[in-house]
Amino acid sequence: MQMVVLFVVQGLCFAVLDAAMLTRVMQPLFRQHIGSLMLDGLRIGPAVGFYILYIAGLTLLVSLPALRAGSLLQAAMGGAILGAVAYGTYELTSHAIMKDWHIRMVLTDMAWGTLLSALTATVGVAAARAVSPG
């Protein structure tokens, strides 16, 4: 039961927070620098695929070990590290090879991925612990 709660709560937390950030901050920032490369709409399949894959990785690599250790700090730190690595890989590679990939895009998205992953893992572990303490 804890695993289901962990995955579902993290998925909801991540999706809701990310949707707000994407629409209010990231989309205008990216449109300013690489607007001609952006779609008018969203490709749902790849977006859903990313969310499932990322939450699965966050759950298995960060949240489940933190839940077993009983440590919210471990969840937050592990989430922050995974977020920085994952978002950093994408952003730094894009900045290295793409002509109009602005450093502001890189720093904003990396900071967001770090914070979002830390928060999501912490919320997920807290929720899973509340369902089945100890």
In this predicted model, what pLDDT tens digit does every residue of 7-24 receive, in sequence order? 999 999 999 999 999 999
State pTM to two decimals: 0.95
Q: 83-92: per-residue pLDDT in tens?
A: 999 999 999 9
Alpha carbons within 13 angstroms on the beta-carbon side of residue 83 total 25
Q: What is residue 1's predicted lDDT score, i.e. its pLDDT?
A: 85
DSSP-derived secondary structure letter, 63: I
The percent of the chain in helix, strand and coil, each rounded to the nearest 5, is 85, 0, 15
- Two structure tokens written together for 77: 């730190």
Sort residue 57 into left (φ over 0), alpha (ψ -120 to 50) or beta. Answer: alpha
CA angle 76, 77, 80 (to 5 degrees): 85
For residues 103-115, one letter each, b for 16 or more C-beta atoms within 10 angstroms of the residue's C-beta and e for the rest, the string is eebbebbbebbbb
Q: What is residue 102's predicted lDDT score, i.e. its pLDDT?
A: 97
Q: Indicate whether 134 pLDDT > 80.
A: no
Q: 33-77: per-residue pLDDT in tens?
A: 999 999 988 899 999 999 999 999 999 999 999 999 999 999 999
Q: 107-129: per-residue pLDDT in tens?
A: 999 999 999 999 999 999 999 99
What is the Cα–Cα distance from 111 to 108, expressed in whole angstroms? 5
- Two structure tokens written together for 8: 């579902």
DSSP secondary structure string, 87-108? HHHHHHHHHHH-TT--HHHHHH
